[in-house]
Amino acid sequence: MSLSEFELIHRFFRDLGAARDDVVLGIGDDGAITRVPPDHELVTTVDTLVSGVHFDENAAASDIGHKALAVNLSDLAAMGAEPAWATLAISLPEVDESWLQSFAEGFNALAAKHRVQLVGGDTVRGPLQVTVQLQGLVPNGAALTRAGAQPGDAIFVTGTLGDAALALQMIESGATPSETVLGQINRPVARVAAGIGLRDLASACVDVSDGLAVDLGHVLAASNAGATLQLKALPGSVAIVVVGDEQERWRLQLAGGDDYELCFTAPADNVGQIDALARELDLRITRIGEVEKKKGLRLARPDGTLWDMPPGGFEHFRA
Amino acid sequence: MSLSEFELIHRFFRDLGAARDDVVLGIGDDGAITRVPPDHELVTTVDTLVSGVHFDENAAASDIGHKALAVNLSDLAAMGAEPAWATLAISLPEVDESWLQSFAEGFNALAAKHRVQLVGGDTVRGPLQVTVQLQGLVPNGAALTRAGAQPGDAIFVTGTLGDAALALQMIESGATPSETVLGQINRPVARVAAGIGLRDLASACVDVSDGLAVDLGHVLAASNAGATLQLKALPGSVAIVVVGDEQERWRLQLAGGDDYELCFTAPADNVGQIDALARELDLRITRIGEVEKKKGLRLARPDGTLWDMPPGGFEHFRA
């Protein structure tokens, strides 16, 4: 890129997000310098969004800016980490000032909300892609991981499941999703405060990005355990509970993905504290099943009969 | 990507680089967990390479793997930081096992050499792009920055300048560059040990990626100073010193870019220690000019007459 373009981009990205005391040197040198507080560990995550794959080619730039950070915030939330510093690599077919302005606004609003400071960036000419790398802080040993679920632990999920999948399905069939449902795709909310609140309560945690069945499967694999989920317990929005075909509804909720909720396990003794956290955060937290010694994922129908999740995952559920 | 593709990629990237004691949790969860040693700061840098822009579409995958890490190592070197942890985001048009194998080899060899552990990754389907984010460690307050050059400081550069630009020029004109010259494009060497050795010696430092004139310009701007460079002192390889037209040679050396050498300033009193470091590392370090109070960059011809660098940079040098 030419120098004038460089200056333009520099202007948009120089001061994105919060101004943090632990940033010794921000954007503008060969690297940023930051300080990790004593007795804290660093949690690092990275996600790339590709135009036409992870967002629609006509998506609003501000939504892309929001989502690129939100999907990383969701990963940090699943680790119980407090967000701190981000880097942003953007590939753009051309330098479009209004697009950059809008992207920066979407990114900035979410970054400021979570006290994230942008400390590094690279802008290149190429097909539209956005890679955000995000770092967070957690007291030594307090991070949540996918390992640690114990037989007997209860399984929970925050918020509701299936809206993003429903929205995609409606769009593909030519229907118009409601603003709320569409928001789940364009402006996902990461459960950062819930993740931090769960540090001392959860035994394992994952964010639901690929679909509950797949992501819970990661927890069970890492924890060397199995589980049974109660299908009737799966929390859904008003939009999803009116889906008439219950198998279709479950498919959206278990395999849809893009929910960016937290699925976590916890000893049954912690249920009271988890309820208190839900009230404090004004966040729905639903108990949906139980961790078991027997490997595999079983789905309990409302009538109590069990369905074994086939090895190929939920996509083969109806076959 | 499908799960089987995910597994394939996972296999290639899971164990890239060194196994470090300060990595509490590596690839495979929602985030990695790492520990910064007491009294150390973190240095962060990010760079994206785009196919057809930063590397040839037919470039060997192992060279791309090497270069994606090397350009970031060069940024850390300029900060005097010791490399530690990397994340890698790759966008691939298709999952090609032999390409991935080769890319991983190139990345891995360089990562192992510098004790870098890959702690996070994302692989998406899209046009070929590679974004590496790299973190390094430096004792509190010891990082080198672009600010700090003082009038009277000497200006130095490591290695030689202009080979990458010469190689590109030869390729564009249909000629075949020597292996050595070509290596400067495909397998750049980052001056990591030199950066670390310069922590207590240099007053300011930058890596030469956009061309010496531009990058030294960043140092002068950040340090609120100017400089005169001695054109006859610019170090060149055997390939570059035989370029007959001296203006053309200087243009390649001052504006070519992709050198990945360090340009630094230091008090004249440190010359002896800098010479000792050069001997210790078996690395050419050349004194090429002097920082001055008067703003702007001046180029001293071999006959002693001065050329003012025009504001538009070296591209306008001959006009």
In chain B, the domains with their CATH numbers are 5-139 (3.30.1330.10), 154-300 (3.90.650.10)
Is residue A235 within 8 A of residue A144, CB to CB? The reply is no
Listed in order, strand segments (DSSP E) in chain B are 23-25, 32-34, 40-50, 82-92, 117-125, 129-139, 154-158, 204-208, 226-230, 261-266, 285-292, 296-300, 306-308
The predicted-structure confidence for A209-262, as pLDDT tens digits, reads as follows 999 999 999 999 999 999 999 999 999 998 888 888 888 899 999 998 899 999
Q: Can you give the pLDDT at residue B310?
A: 65
Q: Which has more pLDDT, B290 or B248?
A: B290
Q: Two tokens at A43?
A: 């949690």
Q: What is the average pLDDT across A167-181?
A: 88
Q: Which has more pLDDT, B90 or A316?
A: B90
Q: Are the beta carbons of A145 and B25 separated by less than 8 Å?
A: yes
Range with lowest mean pLDDT among B7-16, B67-76, B77-86: B7-16
Q: Are the beta carbons of A126 and B129 separated by less than 8 Å?
A: yes
Give the separation between CA B143 and CA A194, rounded to whole angstroms: 36
Burial class (CB in 10 A: 0-12, 13-18, 19+), B76: buried
Q: Can you give the pLDDT at residue B57?
A: 83
Among A30, A89, A146, beta carbon nearest to B75: A30
Instruction: Quote the pTM value.
Output: 0.93
Q: Can you give the pLDDT at residue A5?
A: 61
Instruction: Identify which of A209, A210, A203 has the alpha carbon closest to the alpha carbon of residue A155.
Output: A203
Q: Can you give the pLDDT at residue A312?
A: 52
Q: Can you give the pLDDT at residue B140?
A: 98
Burial A100-117 (b: 16+ CB within 10 A, else e): bebbbbbbbebbeebebb
Range with lowest mean pLDDT among A55-64, A109-118, B9-18, B98-107: B9-18
The predicted-structure confidence for B25-61, as pLDDT tens digits, reads as follows 999 899 999 999 999 999 999 999 998 888 888 899 9
Residues A143, A149, A154, A158, Cα dihedral to 10°: 40
Instruction: Identify which of A92, A114, A94, A96 has the alpha carbon closest to the alpha carbon of residue A16.
Output: A114
Residues of A in contact with B33 (CB under 8 A): 41-43, 79, 138, 143, 145
Give B8's pLDDT tier (boundaries 50, 70, 90): low
Among A75, A87, A120, beta carbon nearest to B31: A75
Give B123's pLDDT tier (boundaries 50, 70, 90): confident
Residues 6 or more apart whose Cβ sits within 8 Å of residue B62? B102, B103, B105, B106
The predicted-structure confidence for A264-298, as pLDDT tens digits, reads as follows 999 999 999 999 999 999 999 999 999 999 999 99
Question: How far A313 CA lies from chain B's nearest CA (Å)?
Answer: 10
Beta bridge partners, B148, equal none
A contact test, residue of B2, B30, B214 with most A CBs within 10 A:
B30
Percent of the residues in chain A that have a pLDDT greater than 90, as a whole number: 72
The predicted-structure confidence for A29-78, as pLDDT tens digits, reads as follows 999 999 999 999 999 999 999 988 888 888 999 999 999 999 999 999 99
Write a three-state SS string for A236-255: CCHHHHCCCCHHHHHHHHHH
Provide Rg for chain B, Cα atoms: 20
Residues 6 or more apart whose Cβ sits within 8 Å of residue B237? B160, B162, B163, B180, B181
Average pLDDT of chain A, as a whole number: 91
Q: Can you give the pLDDT at residue B314?
A: 53
Q: Can you give the pLDDT at residue A14?
A: 77
Average pLDDT of chain B, as a whole number: 91
Instruction: Identify which of B308, B203, B222 has the alpha carbon closest to the alpha carbon of residue B263.
Output: B203
Give the separation between CA A107 and CA B187, rounded to whole angstroms: 35
